[in-house]
Amino acid sequence: MSDVADWWRTSIIDMEPGRIELRGHPIEELIGKVSFPEMIWLMVRGDRPSAGQAKLFEAALVSAVDHGPQAPSIAAARMAVTCGLPLNNAMASAVNMLGDVHGGAGEQAVELYHFLASAGAPLSDALDDWCAARGKIVPGFGHRFHTPTDPRAPRLLELVQDSVEAGVCDGNFAEIAIQVEHELLKRAGKPIPMNIDGATAVIYAELGFAPPLARGLFCLSRSVGILAHAWEQTQQGGRNKGPTPPSYRWTFDG
């Protein structure tokens, strides 16, 4: 039996008939007593966040729930519904589009902040080293739609500063992100402001989440918008809607 029992090993859940414990906590002691963000933290990290940590964590999750039907993942969910798929399939189709380019910048930004924090060199030089290795696009900065300011980022940084003053986090990663923003302004001669990925990455780095978790947490956050749009499209109806109206045609260059 040990060979069977040890096939999967987990410290997340222990369960038998009539008993469910998550991270050592009976489920009945969690229901109605912890928020959903606190539950995410507990499941992923194994401990309970402080009130200040939970508040900052929740702010990051709230900030990234949606960015409109022009976002590829949201569009995919709505198109999936018009193809007759139920909500769970539409959500899966959308989440599967959250990759390195669309949805991955938060993870990359946390990696960037850690790299700059440990570089042992002036930020400008360290940023050059990062770009030489990873490409010229600096993750977490600039936005194709929100110029000159992504309205979500300043608010999140305000909450980080509040958390620093309350002793929730030390603000080191926030300071690095602000320095990057200033360096990019100096180099480009125009603002390349922090975007939602850069700002939520500050929070996840300040709270001690590993870089890959930033992408997973973004998927959880964006799933809220995905569900909302998929459900709305279900109510609106429509069949086999593609990415553009039927009267529009693609460019044939053969």
* Stretch 101-121: mean pLDDT: 94
By the 8 A CB rule, do 148 and 188 touch?
no
Q: What does CATH list as the number for 105-212?
A: 1.10.230.10
pLDDT of 5: 82
* Stretch 77-82: mean pLDDT: 98
By the 8 A CB rule, do 194 and 177 touch?
yes
Q: Could you tell me which residues come within 8 angstroms of residue 78 by beta carbon, excluding any fewer than 6 positions away? A: 69, 90, 229, 230, 232, 233, 241
Q: Could you tell me which residues come within 8 angstroms of residue 75 by beta carbon, excluding any fewer than 6 positions away? A: 69, 243
For a pLDDT cut of 90, what percent of the chain falls above it? 89
pLDDT of 3: 82
Band of the pLDDT at 6, cuts 50, 70, 90?
confident
* Stretch 14-38: mean pLDDT: 98
pLDDT digits (tens, 9 = 90+) for 193-244: 999 999 999 999 999 999 999 999 999 999 999 999 999 999 999 999 999 9
Band of the pLDDT at 146, cuts 50, 70, 90?
low
Q: Label each residue of the chain as H, E or C.
A: CHHHHCCCCCCCEEEECCEEEECCEEHHHHCCCCCHHHHHHHHHHCCCCCHHHHHHHHHHHHHCCCCCCCCHHHHHHHHHHHCCCCHHHHHHHHHCCCECCCECHHHHHHHHHHHHHHCCCCHHHHHHHHHHHHCCCCCCECCCCCCCCCCHHHHHHHHHHHHHHCCCCCCHHHHHHHHHHHHHHHHHCCCCCECHHHHHHHHHHHCCCCHHHHHHHHHHHHHHHHHHHHHHHHHHCCCCCCCCCCCCCCCCCC
